[in-house]
């Protein structure tokens, strides 16, 4: 398996002090996802939890609906200049009857760690329809539970503590209990890894849960939450206008600027239980 971090020499400047020392940086390597031997997508990710990433990506792109749609998956022989397996190619065998997606002009599955899925023909092409009725989710989330989630997420970011260079996504129960956490250089990869963990355990839809992300709430992350049946998406930073529009449309409670003792609730505020004033 690839390394999650690597060491590199740096010149450290702190005021008048100058020192040269090794420093840990987050690893970033390509992962190619193949279906039945045919390339489907390439994403730049932090190695680790790759099978979760693959399951989550396929589920949130509408390729699979659960673990039974995957007959098998394996690392392929992708070797470096020294002949060692890089573990950077995963081949997936879809179960009998599961259609292989059309990767023609309408959808372009090239992704990067910075921007997520890029080059899709239009907004309609990425408004993938979810099989779950997120709007019907009756979960209620006390404000005091919501406000502690960023601290709990940060406390579990082990690789971030070493490098300062990774996004995190955490899946929480409505009582604040952490269900799953994953880190990655790409925020969309971290989300796919968390959702993929749920896919592999047969727990979709992830009804009654909160998806907490360390960065902003983009359209793509909102779409992934909808595809997994997650009713609440919370972010420490801002949402985009398309994220707000999609959350309102599919029934997701979208929360931004979740920091300290406050937050902004953009859609479906009724799920939040506020203390009496």
What amino acid positions are annotated as catalytic residues?
A: 115
Apex CA 130: angle with CA 146 and CA 207, to 5°? 35
Tokens 């070797």 sit on residue? 79
Task: Output the six-digit token pair for 218.
Answer: 């983009």
């Amino acid at each position: 398996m690839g390394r999650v971090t690597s060491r590199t020499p740096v010149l450290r400047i702190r005021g008048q002090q100058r020192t040269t020392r090794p420093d840990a940086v987050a690893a970033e390597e390509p992962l190619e996802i193949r279906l039945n031997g045919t390339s489907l997508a390439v994403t730049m990710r932090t190695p680790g939890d790759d099978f979760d990433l693959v399951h989550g990506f396929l589920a949130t792109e509408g390729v699979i609906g659960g673990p039974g749609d995957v007959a098998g998956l394996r690392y392929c022989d992708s070797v470096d200049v020294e002949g060692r397996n890089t573990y950077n190619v995963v081949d997936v065998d879809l179960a009998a009857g599961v259609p292989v997606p059309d990767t023609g002009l309408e959808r372009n599955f090239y992704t990067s760690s910075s921007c997520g899925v890029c080059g899709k023909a239009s907004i309609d092409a990425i408004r993938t329809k979810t099989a779950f009725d997120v709007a019907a989710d009756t979960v209620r989330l006390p404000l005091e539970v919501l406000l502690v989630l960023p601290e709990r997420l940060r406390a579990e970011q082990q690789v971030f503590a070493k490098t300062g260079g990774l996004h995190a996504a955490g899946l929480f129960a409505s009582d604040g209990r952490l269900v799953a956490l994953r880190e990655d250089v790409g925020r969309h990869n971290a989300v796919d890894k968390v959702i993929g963990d749920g896919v592999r355990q047969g727990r979709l839809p992830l009804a009654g849960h909160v998806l907490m992300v360390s960065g902003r709430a983009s359209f793509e992350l909102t779409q992934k939450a909808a595809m997994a049946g997650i009713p609440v998406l919370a972010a420490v930073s801002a949402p985009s206008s398309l994220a707000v529009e999609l959350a309102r449309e599919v029934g997701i409670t979208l929360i931004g600027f979740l920091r300290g003792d406050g937050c902004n609730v953009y859609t479906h505020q009724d799920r939040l239980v506020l203390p009496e004033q």
